Structure 1
Protein backbone atom coordinates (compact mmCIF):
# COMPACT_ATOMS: atom_id res chain seq x y z
CA UNK A 1 0.00 0.00 0.00
CA UNK A 2 0.98 3.62 -0.51
CA UNK A 3 0.42 4.47 3.17
CA UNK A 4 0.88 1.11 4.90
CA UNK A 5 0.34 2.38 8.45
CA UNK A 6 -2.94 3.98 7.45
CA UNK A 7 -3.95 0.89 5.46
CA UNK A 8 -3.15 -1.33 8.44
CA UNK A 9 -5.18 0.89 10.74
CA UNK A 10 -8.11 0.81 8.29
CA UNK A 11 -7.89 -2.98 8.42
CA UNK A 12 -8.01 -2.63 12.20
CA UNK A 13 -11.20 -0.55 11.87
CA UNK A 14 -12.77 -3.33 9.78
CA UNK A 15 -11.78 -5.97 12.34
CA UNK A 16 -13.15 -3.71 15.07
CA UNK A 17 -16.45 -3.35 13.20
CA UNK A 18 -16.89 -7.11 13.55
CA UNK A 19 -15.26 -7.56 16.97
CA UNK A 20 -17.00 -4.65 18.72
CA UNK A 21 -20.03 -6.90 19.20
CA UNK A 22 -18.01 -9.26 21.39
CA UNK A 23 -18.30 -9.12 25.15
CA UNK A 24 -15.24 -7.87 27.04
CA UNK A 25 -13.42 -11.15 27.72
CA UNK A 26 -13.50 -12.46 24.11
CA UNK A 27 -12.50 -8.99 22.87
CA UNK A 28 -9.53 -8.91 25.25
CA UNK A 29 -8.57 -12.46 24.20
CA UNK A 30 -8.65 -11.34 20.55
CA UNK A 31 -6.38 -8.38 21.38
CA UNK A 32 -4.01 -10.60 23.36
CA UNK A 33 -3.89 -13.19 20.55
CA UNK A 34 -3.13 -10.50 17.96
CA UNK A 35 -0.38 -9.05 20.15
CA UNK A 36 1.23 -12.48 20.59
CA UNK A 37 0.82 -13.42 16.93
CA UNK A 38 1.97 -9.97 15.84
CA UNK A 39 5.08 -10.06 18.01
CA UNK A 40 6.06 -13.45 16.61
CA UNK A 41 5.14 -12.61 12.99
CA UNK A 42 6.82 -9.19 13.05
CA UNK A 43 10.01 -10.74 14.39
CA UNK A 44 9.98 -13.38 11.66
CA UNK A 45 9.15 -10.77 9.01
CA UNK A 46 12.08 -8.60 10.08
CA UNK A 47 14.39 -11.58 9.65
CA UNK A 48 12.95 -12.50 6.25
CA UNK A 49 12.61 -8.94 4.92
CA UNK A 50 15.92 -7.82 6.39
CA UNK A 51 14.83 -4.55 7.97
CA UNK A 52 13.63 -3.01 11.21
CA UNK A 53 9.84 -2.46 11.28
CA UNK A 54 9.43 -2.92 7.52
CA UNK A 55 6.46 -0.94 6.19
CA UNK A 56 4.91 -4.17 4.87
CA UNK A 57 4.33 -5.27 8.48
CA UNK A 58 0.90 -3.94 9.47
CA UNK A 59 -0.31 -6.37 12.14
CA UNK A 60 1.01 -3.88 14.70
CA UNK A 61 -1.48 -1.26 13.49
CA UNK A 62 -4.35 -3.76 13.52
CA UNK A 63 -3.59 -4.88 17.08
CA UNK A 64 -2.87 -1.32 18.20
CA UNK A 65 -6.19 0.00 16.92
CA UNK A 66 -8.11 -2.82 18.62
CA UNK A 67 -6.32 -2.13 21.91
CA UNK A 68 -7.08 1.59 21.51
CA UNK A 69 -10.79 0.78 21.39
CA UNK A 70 -10.95 -1.35 24.58
CA UNK A 71 -13.99 -0.27 26.64
CA UNK A 72 -14.68 2.69 24.35
CA UNK A 73 -18.37 3.19 23.49
CA UNK A 74 -19.23 1.54 20.19
CA UNK A 75 -20.36 3.64 17.25
CA UNK A 76 -18.83 5.16 14.17
CA UNK A 77 -18.07 8.52 15.79
CA UNK A 78 -15.72 6.91 18.30
CA UNK A 79 -14.36 4.48 15.69
CA UNK A 80 -13.44 7.36 13.36
CA UNK A 81 -12.05 9.48 16.19
CA UNK A 82 -10.04 6.45 17.31
CA UNK A 83 -8.66 6.02 13.79
CA UNK A 84 -7.40 9.60 13.56
CA UNK A 85 -6.09 9.74 17.14
CA UNK A 86 -4.30 6.41 16.76
CA UNK A 87 -2.66 7.51 13.49
CA UNK A 88 -1.65 10.81 15.13
CA UNK A 89 0.00 9.17 18.14
CA UNK A 90 1.58 6.45 15.99
CA UNK A 91 3.15 9.07 13.71
CA UNK A 92 4.12 11.69 16.33
CA UNK A 93 5.27 9.11 18.92
CA UNK A 94 5.11 11.26 22.08
CA UNK A 95 7.21 10.28 25.09
CA UNK A 96 7.87 7.46 25.85
CA UNK A 97 6.59 5.88 22.62
CA UNK A 98 9.60 6.94 20.53
CA UNK A 99 11.88 5.11 22.97
CA UNK A 100 9.75 1.97 22.91
CA UNK A 101 10.33 1.35 19.22
CA UNK A 102 14.07 0.96 19.87
CA UNK A 103 13.46 -2.52 21.26
CA UNK A 104 14.66 -5.26 18.95
CA UNK A 105 12.61 -7.85 17.12
CA UNK A 106 8.88 -8.28 17.01
CA UNK A 107 8.38 -6.63 20.40
CA UNK A 108 9.99 -3.45 19.09
CA UNK A 109 7.62 -3.49 16.10
CA UNK A 110 4.53 -3.96 18.25
CA UNK A 111 5.28 -1.90 21.37
CA UNK A 112 5.18 1.60 19.87
CA UNK A 113 1.74 0.90 18.40
CA UNK A 114 0.55 -0.38 21.76
CA UNK A 115 1.85 2.83 23.33
CA UNK A 116 -0.06 4.86 20.74
CA UNK A 117 -3.10 2.73 21.59
CA UNK A 118 -2.86 3.67 25.28
CA UNK A 119 -2.67 7.39 24.45
CA UNK A 120 -5.61 7.02 22.06
CA UNK A 121 -7.68 5.14 24.63
CA UNK A 122 -7.07 7.82 27.26
CA UNK A 123 -8.13 10.64 24.92
CA UNK A 124 -11.22 8.71 23.78
CA UNK A 125 -12.19 8.10 27.42
CA UNK A 126 -11.91 11.82 28.15
CA UNK A 127 -14.07 12.57 25.11
CA UNK A 128 -16.59 9.93 26.16
CA UNK A 129 -16.80 11.26 29.71
CA UNK A 130 -17.19 14.81 28.38
CA UNK A 131 -19.96 13.84 25.97
CA UNK A 132 -21.77 11.15 27.95
CA UNK A 133 -21.12 12.36 31.48
Structure 2
Protein backbone atom coordinates (compact mmCIF):
# COMPACT_ATOMS: atom_id res chain seq x y z
CA UNK A 1 0.00 0.00 0.00
CA UNK A 2 2.78 2.42 0.90
CA UNK A 3 4.58 1.91 -2.41
CA UNK A 4 1.35 2.05 -4.42
CA UNK A 5 0.35 5.30 -2.69
CA UNK A 6 3.79 6.78 -3.40
CA UNK A 7 3.53 5.87 -7.09
CA UNK A 8 0.02 7.27 -7.47
CA UNK A 9 0.59 10.40 -5.38
CA UNK A 10 3.87 11.19 -7.13
CA UNK A 11 1.99 11.98 -10.33
CA UNK A 12 -0.61 14.29 -8.82
CA UNK A 13 -0.18 17.88 -7.68
CA UNK A 14 1.00 18.01 -4.06
CA UNK A 15 -2.01 20.07 -2.96
CA UNK A 16 -4.36 17.30 -4.19
CA UNK A 17 -2.69 14.55 -2.14
CA UNK A 18 -4.44 15.08 1.23
CA UNK A 19 -7.91 15.10 -0.36
CA UNK A 20 -7.00 12.11 -2.53
CA UNK A 21 -5.74 10.11 0.46
CA UNK A 22 -8.87 10.93 2.49
CA UNK A 23 -11.19 10.11 -0.41
CA UNK A 24 -9.43 6.82 -1.11
CA UNK A 25 -9.39 5.86 2.57
CA UNK A 26 -13.11 6.60 2.95
CA UNK A 27 -13.90 4.56 -0.18
CA UNK A 28 -11.77 1.66 1.05
CA UNK A 29 -13.51 1.74 4.45
CA UNK A 30 -16.99 1.90 2.88
CA UNK A 31 -16.18 -1.02 0.58
CA UNK A 32 -14.09 -2.86 3.16
CA UNK A 33 -16.63 -3.14 5.97
CA UNK A 34 -19.31 -5.05 4.02
CA UNK A 35 -16.69 -7.01 2.06
CA UNK A 36 -14.85 -8.19 5.17
CA UNK A 37 -18.15 -9.01 6.85
CA UNK A 38 -19.02 -11.32 3.95
CA UNK A 39 -15.58 -12.93 3.89
CA UNK A 40 -15.56 -13.43 7.67
CA UNK A 41 -19.00 -15.06 7.57
CA UNK A 42 -18.13 -17.25 4.57
CA UNK A 43 -14.78 -18.35 6.03
CA UNK A 44 -16.02 -18.75 9.59
CA UNK A 45 -13.05 -16.68 10.78
CA UNK A 46 -13.40 -13.68 13.10
CA UNK A 47 -10.61 -11.73 11.35
CA UNK A 48 -9.42 -13.52 8.20
CA UNK A 49 -5.70 -12.79 7.85
CA UNK A 50 -5.87 -13.10 4.07
CA UNK A 51 -8.09 -9.99 3.93
CA UNK A 52 -5.90 -6.89 3.62
CA UNK A 53 -8.35 -4.15 2.64
CA UNK A 54 -8.33 -3.01 6.29
CA UNK A 55 -4.56 -2.54 6.12
CA UNK A 56 -4.94 -0.47 2.95
CA UNK A 57 -7.31 1.94 4.70
CA UNK A 58 -5.04 2.32 7.72
CA UNK A 59 -1.93 2.90 5.63
CA UNK A 60 -3.65 5.57 3.53
CA UNK A 61 -4.80 7.42 6.64
CA UNK A 62 -1.25 7.47 8.00
CA UNK A 63 -0.07 9.49 4.98
CA UNK A 64 -2.75 12.23 4.83
CA UNK A 65 -0.94 15.55 4.44
CA UNK A 66 2.53 14.01 4.74
CA UNK A 67 5.20 14.92 2.15
CA UNK A 68 6.36 12.11 -0.12
CA UNK A 69 9.92 11.20 0.78
CA UNK A 70 11.47 7.78 1.21
CA UNK A 71 11.94 8.56 4.92
CA UNK A 72 8.31 9.57 5.45
CA UNK A 73 7.07 6.51 3.55
CA UNK A 74 9.25 4.15 5.57
CA UNK A 75 8.42 5.82 8.88
CA UNK A 76 4.69 5.90 8.12
CA UNK A 77 4.72 2.22 7.23
CA UNK A 78 6.57 1.34 10.45
CA UNK A 79 4.38 3.54 12.66
CA UNK A 80 1.20 2.08 11.23
CA UNK A 81 2.45 -1.48 11.76
CA UNK A 82 3.54 -0.72 15.35
CA UNK A 83 0.16 0.79 16.26
CA UNK A 84 -1.66 -2.03 14.46
CA UNK A 85 0.26 -4.61 16.49
CA UNK A 86 0.21 -2.82 19.87
CA UNK A 87 -3.39 -1.64 19.52
CA UNK A 88 -3.33 1.19 22.08
CA UNK A 89 -6.71 2.32 23.44
CA UNK A 90 -9.19 2.73 21.87
CA UNK A 91 -7.85 0.67 18.94
CA UNK A 92 -8.21 -2.58 20.91
CA UNK A 93 -11.83 -1.69 21.70
CA UNK A 94 -12.54 -0.99 18.01
CA UNK A 95 -11.31 -4.50 17.20
CA UNK A 96 -14.09 -5.88 19.42
CA UNK A 97 -16.84 -4.40 17.25
CA UNK A 98 -18.51 -7.32 15.45
CA UNK A 99 -17.73 -8.43 11.92
CA UNK A 100 -16.36 -6.16 9.19
CA UNK A 101 -16.68 -2.94 11.17
CA UNK A 102 -14.31 -4.23 13.85
CA UNK A 103 -11.93 -5.75 11.30
CA UNK A 104 -11.60 -2.46 9.42
CA UNK A 105 -11.99 0.15 12.18
CA UNK A 106 -9.10 -1.10 14.32
CA UNK A 107 -6.82 -0.44 11.35
CA UNK A 108 -8.42 2.98 10.88
CA UNK A 109 -7.56 3.69 14.53
CA UNK A 110 -3.97 2.51 14.05
CA UNK A 111 -3.75 4.73 10.97
CA UNK A 112 -4.99 7.73 12.97
CA UNK A 113 -2.32 7.12 15.61
CA UNK A 114 0.30 6.90 12.87
CA UNK A 115 -1.05 10.08 11.28
CA UNK A 116 -0.87 11.96 14.59
CA UNK A 117 2.74 10.95 15.20
CA UNK A 118 3.74 11.78 11.62
CA UNK A 119 2.22 15.26 11.90
CA UNK A 120 3.88 15.86 15.26
CA UNK A 121 7.23 14.91 13.75
CA UNK A 122 6.53 17.18 10.79
CA UNK A 123 5.48 20.06 13.06
CA UNK A 124 8.63 19.84 15.19
CA UNK A 125 10.90 19.57 12.14
CA UNK A 126 11.98 16.01 12.84
CA UNK A 127 10.29 14.87 9.64
CA UNK A 128 11.25 17.34 6.93
CA UNK A 129 9.05 18.55 4.10
TM-score range, shorter chain: 0.7 to 0.9
1:8-52 per-residue CA deviation (whole Å, 9 max, x = no partner) reads xxxx11221133244133332211111111112111110111111
Write the distance in 1 (CA, Å) between the matches of 2:88 and 2:21: 27
Q: Quote the residue 1:82 is aligned against.
A: 76
Are 2:122 and 1:128 aligned? yes
Q: Quote the residue 1:39 is aligned against.
A: 33
Write the distance in 1 (CA, Å) between the matches of 2:3 and 2:28: 15
Runs of 4 or more above 4 Å deviation: none
* Partners of 2:22 and 2:60 within 8 A in 1: no
Write the distance in 2 (CA, Å) between the matches of 1:43 and 1:111: 12
**Structure 2 SS opposite 1:20:** helix
**5+ residue gaps, structure 1:** 1-11
TM-score (norm 2): 0.87
Q: Quote the residue 2:88 is aligned against.
A: 94
RMSD: 1.5
TM-score (norm 1): 0.85
Are 2:108 and 1:119 aligned? no
Write the distance in 2 (CA, Å) between the matches of 1:98 and 1:113: 10
